[in-house]
Amino acid sequence: DEARLKQGIDRRCFYFDDIASTNGFMLTHTDELESGDVCIAEHQSAGRGRRGRRWASPYGSHLYFSLFWRLEEGMNKAMGLSLVVGCSLAKVLADMGISGVGLKWPNDVYLDGKKLAGILIEMKGQADSNCELIIGIGVNLAMPDAAGADIDQPWADLQGVGMPDKTDFAVRLQRQLQQDLSLFEEQGLNAFVERWQTADLYLGKQVNLLLADKVQSGICRGIDNQGALLLEQDGQVVSYIGGEISLRLA
Ligand code: ATP
Ligand code: BTN
């Protein structure tokens, strides 16, 4: 609830019962925001995923969370940031006793093979100086049947696997992100490659990488310190940069 949320989160928290998109709210208010500010809503009427896709955002106990961050180094530095955020989410879930969570490059959190959470990072500013990031996170805590029926891929929620208290979850997530984003600013992705590797769902597996105009196949070898996906193809390790790429099990 709002009072407990605002008490627990040690930054400014913009709280809404209903909003189009928490990411959208922050994107249109960047001038007034400070690094670490958070926006949380109970419901989104136009929740969004990557590439204009829809993020089902029914009322209930789901978490719709965005965090604002400025980077003096610019957008180039933000490459691979979704991997950091994935590591943060995996840590919070593990700390709350939820097992079976895995990460799919570059931005998905799975529970027992089904999508539990998504990360959408939107940016504006310069490539090499002063940019603004909105880190959006949606986590399914308890999916209502009707909303679940609308989602066109297998999804998971936390019912039956140790449903956390939403406020507690949001507060832990905010603190973990604050800590991990600071670490990322100091050390870059180096500090996260191993953490990613331990949660990577596809490590060592045969996968297909769907690029805009072709499919690349290989064995997943984790990530490099730029956040690129490493694929072993004919004995050579090739790196693929994020963006319009989707990863699938072969
Ligand atoms: P990728 O293209 O990286 O393989 P993806 O297919 O999961 O990932 P995204 O753009 O990351 O695509 O996520 C949006 C998709 O997530 C939607 O098209 C829908 O299939 C699914 N989705 C939407 N809402 C939810 C939700 N609340 N829980 C789980 N999955 C959802
Ligand atoms: C994805 O998997 O494509 C990313 C989904 C991100 C959803 C979250 S919910 C909070 C924030 N506001 C949005 O409109 N989207 C993100």
User: What residues does CATH 2.30.30.100 cover in the chain?
Assistant: 206-249
What digits encode the pLDDT tens for the residues 83-93? 999 999 999 99
pLDDT in tens, 23-67: 999 999 999 999 999 999 999 999 999 988 999 999 987 999 999
Residue 49 CA: nearest ligand 2 atom is 3
| Global pTM value | 0.95
Name the phi and psi angles at 223, rounded to 5: -125, 160
Protein fold of 206-249? SH3 type barrels. (2.30.30)
Catalytic residue among 50, 77, 104, 195: 50
Atom 11 of ligand 2, nearest CA residue:
136
Ligand 2 center from residue 100 Cα (angstroms): 22
Query: Count of alpha carbons within 13 Å of 209, Cβ hemisphere only?
Result: 25
Cα 90 to ligand 1 centroid, rounded to whole Å: 18
Give the helix ranges, DSSP H, for the chain: 2-8, 22-27, 81-95, 145-149, 166-187, 193-199
Q: Which two tokens stand for residue 164?
A: 């956390």
* Ligand that lies nearest to the alpha carbon of residue 153, given by its number in the listed order: 1
The Cα 161–Cα 230 span in angstroms is 32
Atom 9, ligand 1: which residue's CA is nearest? 50
ipTM above 0.95, yes or no: yes
Q: What token pair was written down for 220?
A: 């997943």
Q: Whose CA is nearest to atom 10 of ligand 2?
A: 64
Is 115 part of the annotated catalytic residue set? yes
In this predicted model, what pLDDT tens digit does every residue of 172-224 receive, in sequence order?
A: 999 999 999 999 999 999 999 999 999 999 999 999 999 988 999 999 999 99
- Cα(74) to centroid(ligand 2), Å: 22
Bridge partners of residue 138, in order along the sequence: 64, 118
Query: Distance between CA 51 and CA 41 in Å, rounded?
Result: 22
Statement: residue 138 has pLDDT above 80: yes
2-199: in CATH 3.40.50.720: no
Chain region(s) in the chain for CATH 3.30.930.10:
2-199
Nearest Cα to Cα of residue 78 among 184, 222, 211, 196: 184
Residue 172 catalytic?
no
pLDDT tens-digit series, residues 94-118 = 999 999 999 999 999 999 999 999 9
Q: How far is the CA of 221 from the centre of ligand 2 (A)?
A: 27
Average pLDDT, the chain: 94
Confidence of residue 241 (pLDDT cuts 50, 70, 90): confident
The number of the ligand 2 atom at minimal distance from the alpha carbon of 41 is 10
What atom of ligand 2 comes closest to residue 23's alpha carbon? 12
For ligand 1, whether the C-beta of 115 sits within 6 Å is yes
